[in-house]
């Protein structure tokens, strides 16, 4: 059943994406407003077509076509609404290039640990083992397992710590000055939403990895 759900997810995403692309291209030839209308119509047709294919591939029951199609259309409409909100409101928020650069670097450094945590949660809690199969191939032999245990703390923990530091830098400013022969340091902290989010993500992933290691060690006693 889980394999069917994953296949349904991939088919809907692919065909709705194709529908958006084709619809937007056709709509753009009509005018600027046609771009948005064409994308919405094409995406909706892609959802309907993918739901029909899901029946042909025995991914869903024929009796559930209406419910699945309507749910897909509602989800697609919410995605479109989110894009409009982002265009109107979120795009007005000015983010400095240095902040964006730090967030991107932090996300890249956190990506291995994020993938490992998500893959582990999907396998243990939802029975979806496909994402974790990459790590299982790395742990197939004792030599690979030993190498993984050496490299993983550097990549996972080191990457998360580096990502947190990189995103703390734009939020903290330190000034040094001499006052009556004394060296005085003034530290000013100003929260930057995009960098603060990366710091929180890094700390949560670190806590998750520490808990994961603790649980694994306890199971051996």
33-84 confidence digits (pLDDT tens): 666 777 777 778 888 888 888 787 777 787 777 777 777 777 766 666 555 5
Residue 102 above 80 pLDDT? Answer: yes
The answer to whether residues 75 and 144 belong to one domain is no
Of the candidate ranges 71-80, 113-122, 135-144, 174-183, the one whose mean pLDDT is the lowest: 71-80
pTM of the model: 0.53
Residue 25 above 80 pLDDT? Answer: no
Length of the chain: 221
Chain centre distance of CA 169: 23
Do the Cβ atoms of 155 and 180 come closer than 8 Å?
no
| Alpha-carbon span 177 to 184, nearest angstrom | 5
The answer to whether residues 113 and 194 belong to one domain is yes
How confident is the model at residue 123, as a pLDDT? 76
Do the Cβ atoms of 113 and 153 come closer than 8 Å?
no
The answer to whether residues 61 and 108 belong to one domain is no
| Mean pLDDT to the nearest integer, 135-145 | 73
The answer to whether residues 130 and 212 belong to one domain is yes
The answer to whether residues 208 and 103 belong to one domain is yes
Domain count for the chain: 2
The answer to whether residues 32 and 122 belong to one domain is no
The answer to whether residues 26 and 53 belong to one domain is yes
Structural domain harbouring 34: 2-92
| Alpha-carbon span 112 to 110, nearest angstrom | 6
Do the Cβ atoms of 10 and 46 come closer than 8 Å?
no
Other CB atoms closer than 10 Å to residue 50's CB: what's the count?
A: 24
The answer to whether residues 182 and 138 belong to one domain is yes
| Alpha-carbon span 109 to 146, nearest angstrom | 23
């Amino acid at each position: 059943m889980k394999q069917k759900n994953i296949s349904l997810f991939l088919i809907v995403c692919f065909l709705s994406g194709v529908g958006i692309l084709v619809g937007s291209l056709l709509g753009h030839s009509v005018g600027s407003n046609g771009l948005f209308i064409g994308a919405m119509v094409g995406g909706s047709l892609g959802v309907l077509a993918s739901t029909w294919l899901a029946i042909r591939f025995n991914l869903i029951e024929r009796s559930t076509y209406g419910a699945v199609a309507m749910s897909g259309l509602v989800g697609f409409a919410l995605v479109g609404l989110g894009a409009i909100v982002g265009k109107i409101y979120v795009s007005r928020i000015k983010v400095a290039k240095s902040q964006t650069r730090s967030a991107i670097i932090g996300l890249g450094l956190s990506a291995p640990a994020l993938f490992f945590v998500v893959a582990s949660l999907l396998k243990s809690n939802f029975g979806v083992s496909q994402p974790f199969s990459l790590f299982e191939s790395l742990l197939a032999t004792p030599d690979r397992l030993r190498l993984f245990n050496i490299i993983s703390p550097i990549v996972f923990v080191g990457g998360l710590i580096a990502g947190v530091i990189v995103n703390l830098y734009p939020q903290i400013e330190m000034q040094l000055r001499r006052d009556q022969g004394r060296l005085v340091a003034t530290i000013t902290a100003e929260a930057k939403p995009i960098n603060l989010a990366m710091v929180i993500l890094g700390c949560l992933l670190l806590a998750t990895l520490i808990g994961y290691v603790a649980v694994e060690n306890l199971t051996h006693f």
